[in-house]
A and B are shown apart, each in its own frame.
Chain A
Amino acid sequence: MRDMLGEMPVHRGEEGLKKDKLMPTVTIDGQKVEVERDATVLDAAKKAGVWIPTLCYHPAVSTSGSCRICMVELDRGDWRQLITACNYPVRRDIVVYVSSERAERARRSVMELLLARAPESPELKALAERMGVKSTPYPTVTESQRSCILCGLCVAVCEEIIGRAAIGYAGRGVDRTVAAPFRQPSEDCIGCGACAAICPVGTIKVRVHEDQQEVEISPFKSRAKLTVCRQCGEPIGSALVSERVLAKVQVSSEEFSELMRLCPKCRRSKTAAQLESADTDRRKVDVKAAKEQMSLKK
């Protein structure tokens, strides 16, 4: 109950605003660091070199604060409040405890619940180890789709960074999953694999089907055609991604479009060949001598 009222608005009249600072100080496990106003406790911890585990947090996307693995204690005078470090905005001088018994117990308990849900993920187990959680006392009572912990990073990256929103949440509560609309392969998916890259527990995978010249995002079943290198025939990536890059980059040069149709290896050899045959004046430059000359000029 205390927690509920503790988070309620403070009268932010003269009295309240006075306490807000431009560069508040966070005392984190005894260490003092200054941060910019509205930086998070997690930012402060990073600055102080204090490690706090995270799962649903990623600097590239908005923070949901949903996994609850980054819980720390905030000093409130006569009591301590458990808060999530990733999204608590620092506006005044505060004191935070990361290694206190209660904070550690809170984080470990959350991890134990997650391990019960997703017992197969090696990444999750590795994080658990680092946190000092060897196993979970809980049975698996909720079935997750291939170790999904519902951190929401895949949904966020697809909507906010890639701008496609090809996947989203479906259902509610224990039946919640991440899925493409109507659980059919998404028409909006471009096969870029950003979701797979950002997934912290290895649930989402990019599968290349060479025979069909397609890339598949598993488990969503969305597929996209692969571009193959014009030179050597190696698969490069999703054709839709290349097309979008070409569309977004305003290029007048034919050369660039040509390069985009080659795999990185062939691209490099082509550029190297071009440089070799270029009609440019090539001479060895003595860097030390050049620097001396410049300083003399000054």
Chain B
Amino acid sequence: MSTIASKRLNCAADLERIREQLLSLRVASAKSVHICTGPGCAAKGSPRLYELFCEAVKEAGVDVEVQAKAVGCHGLCECGPIVLIQPSDIFYQRVEEPDVAEIFRETVLGDRVIERLLYENPTTGEKAKSADEIPFYKAQKRVALACNGVVDPTKITDYIAEGGYGALAKVLSVMTPEEVISEVEVAGLRGRGGGGFPTARKWRSCREAEGSPRYVICNGDEGDPGAFMDRAIMEGNPHSVLEGMLIGAYAIGSSQGYIYVRNEYPLSVECLKQAISQAREIGLLGQNILGNSFSFDIRINRGGGAFVCGESTALMASLEGRTGEPRAKYVHTIESGLWGKPTNLNNVETWANVPAIINNGGEWFANIGTERSKGTKVFSLVGKVENTGLVEVPMGITLRRIVDEIGGGIRGDKLFKAVQTGGPSGGCIPAEHLDARVDFDELTKLGSMMGSGGMIVMDEDTCMVNVAKYFTDFLQKESCGKCTPCREGLSQMLHILSRISRGEGEVGDVEELGTLAEILEGTALCALGKTAANPVLSTIRYFRDEYDAHILDRRCPAKECRGLFRYEIDAEACKACGICLKNCPADAITGEKKVPHVINQEKCTLCGTCWEKCPFTAVKKV
């Protein structure tokens, strides 16, 4: 395999030739075991599974046509580690080390399905043999994640065999830069990093800007807590990002690109470095690519640990060796960006969509989604849902379908309360708006935003005031401190929210928060500052009653804020075992054998030890 992709490709025909060679080498009857090594499964030990499968393959000997492949995030992280067997398309979940031998023997060699490793629908009890039988995957449409689960991200040959770099070849042999931009325009691609700006318009403006050289940047500084879409793409299919950047650079007239990866993603850096090195080796990066006069190369920079560097001007400042402070965008980076030159910055997912648009045509892309939001979007669905993981759906799908159908509904017997979208720049959307269609504009109308794709599902046990406080605290810690409203305004808001959650709220606090939010929105320097008050605003809008309870009644309805709810022992459930009494640090519990224990509210310090320790869940939060 490796010798096929080590000679330099000099024209589009060379690429096609390699592809045909690779496909011809694929034996029809060959079996393939794909082990997901995406972030979720890796955390559960899937790399070790991959090693074990590789050993099994080796031991099987040369007569058996089978290979083991490590693939990128397949999506259903909740059920990881995930193992797929091709070509039968068998989907195994929660695979553990002892299962490897059995899988190899029974399924790979013997074509027999192991029932207990199949996904079981919790409501119907039905077992699914393949991924497309699972509700989680049924409603999805995978474009950016199409190759995750199929392609080994460490092998450029895998990508090429699946048609990779074919879009680049097409662009460099038969399309002009303007034709490329037009195709992306027809597609209606909008930035996937949160801003949602029309990509073609950005490219065109950059192309027409005065000054050289022009730079192309990939924003891999995925800072929203709870979001890992870009990581899954960078580690699952890095070549799609490179191909996207190559096509964009050609359209814009750039010969130098940068990928900025946040410091906390060292694996993404490794994957991208490897991909770049392999692409360079066969001439897909460098001088005169595929026989065209177009030259382009990419450099990777790591962030230093600053959420604010996800903002484009702050990112560019970081690339210039300075502190990551945003600057005014009255003169846009398209005109004057990195080193004062015309610069086009796009998010990882945006770049990853470009090859598919070129391959299938802009119209194909535009036929997916809604009128103003075309194509698909990758979301990280996390929190209190049954199925947590990565999903890619067409724009316009309702929140309800994502939470219920794909997510499998709320975990346990709890009730849905809200879904937080858009990270720290977004807000919480309550049950009454679950039928809202997810796209760039709808969620904004509801006081949130789609953002980069983080979706955190919350249930009845979540205190919304605490959620607002958490995000405000996060933003205050990550604020660059340059402009007055963000630096001082967030501190004032946090001060008020802390008082409220301690039971020291005052009448007028909510109005004060509203005023401060307005100040931030109007006067903050960058988009992060301007949207920083969204978590507070949206929780006030939909959960005002919780704020009122905290302030007026000194009570936390969700029973999360310490001191704002009480513990009581349910006399009927209490078995008088005495564990709570023994462990109470304040000696606030009285009781004897066979007598239900009682908490002395005056002595109780509300530490929650009894609640944790009671084996009969007789201690209730009230």
Contacts and interface: CB of A to CB of B under 8 A. Distances in A.
Interface of A: 1, 3-5, 7-13, 64-69, 71, 82-84, 87-89, 102, 106, 109-110, 113-114, 116-117, 137-139, 141-142, 149-150, 169, 171-176
Given A109-B523, A141-B492, A169-B323, A68 B483 contact: yes
B7 interface: no
Interface residues of B, number: 48
B621 interface: no
Contacts of A13: 204, 208
Contact of A65 (B494, B512, B525): B525
Nearest to A88: B330
B243 interface: no
12 contacts: A1-B531, A9-B332, A12-B205, A67-B484, A82-B523, A109-B523, A110-B523, A116-B492, A142-B487, A150-B482, A172-B479, A172-B481
B476 A66 contact: no
Interface string B479-493: 111111101110110
B332 A87 contact: no
A67 B202 CA distance: 30
Contacts of A142: 487-488, 491
Contacts of A88: 328, 330
B330 A113 contact: no
Q: Please give me the 9 A-B residue pairs with the lowest Cβ-Cβ distance, nearest first.
A: A176-B481, A173-B479, A113-B488, A9-B332, A9-B334, A173-B481, A9-B205, A109-B519, A141-B495
Contact of B195 (A4, A11, A71): A4
A5 to B, nearest CB: 7
B477 interface: yes
B525 A11 contact: no
Given A4-B527, A71-B523, A173-B476, A110 B484 contact: yes
Contacts of A9: 201-202, 205, 332, 334-335
Consensus secondary structure, chain A interface: loop
A5 B204 CA distance: 17
B449 A1 contact: yes
A125 B449 CA distance: 39
Contacts of B329: 7-8
A116 B488 contact: yes
Interface of B: 195, 197, 201-202, 204-205, 208-209, 306, 323, 327-332, 334-335, 444, 449, 476-485, 487-489, 491-492, 494-495, 512, 515, 519, 521-525, 527, 530-531
A68 B525 contact: yes
Contact of A7 (B201, B332, B480, B492): B332
B28 to A, nearest CB: 51
A106 B518 CA distance: 9
Contact of A11 (B204, B479, B489): B204
A106 B331 CA distance: 22
B328 A65 contact: yes
Given A114-B484, A173-B476, 15 more contacts: A3-B530, A4-B527, A7-B332, A8-B195, A8-B329, A11-B208, A68-B524, A83-B330, A109-B519, A113-B492, A138-B492, A142-B488, A169-B323, A172-B480, A174-B491
Given A9-B334, A87-B328, A174 B208 contact: no
Contacts of A64: 327, 482
A117 B491 CA distance: 10
Given A82-B522, A109-B519, A12 B209 contact: yes
Contact of A87 (B330, B485, B492, B523): B330
B484 A113 contact: yes
A87 B313 CA distance: 16
Contacts of B449: 1
B328 A171 contact: no
Contacts of A106: 519, 522-523
B300 to A, nearest CB: 24
Contacts of B306: 172
Contacts of A5: 197
Contact of B208 (A12, A66, A113, A117): A12
Contacts of B330: 7, 83, 87-89
Contacts of B477: 173
B488 A114 contact: yes
Contacts of A8: 195, 197, 329, 332
A142 B491 CA distance: 7
A11 B197 CA distance: 13
Nearest to B441: A1
Given A12-B208, A89-B331, A173-B479, A68 B523 contact: yes
A8 B482 CA distance: 21
A8 B197 CA distance: 8
A4 B481 CA distance: 20
- Tell me which of B481, B525, B530 has the highest count of chain A C-beta atoms within 10 A of its own C-beta: B481
A13 B512 CA distance: 45
B523 A139 contact: no
A64 B525 CA distance: 10
A82 B521 CA distance: 10
A139 B495 contact: yes
Contact of A66 (B195, B334, B483, B527): B483
A108 to B, nearest CB: 10
Contacts of B197: 5, 8
Contacts of A89: 330-331
A99 B483 CA distance: 22
Given A110-B485, A113-B489, A116-B492, A173 B480 contact: yes
Nearest to A114: B484
A117 B483 contact: no
* Residue among A67, A109, A149 having the largest count of chain B Cβ atoms under 10 Å: A109
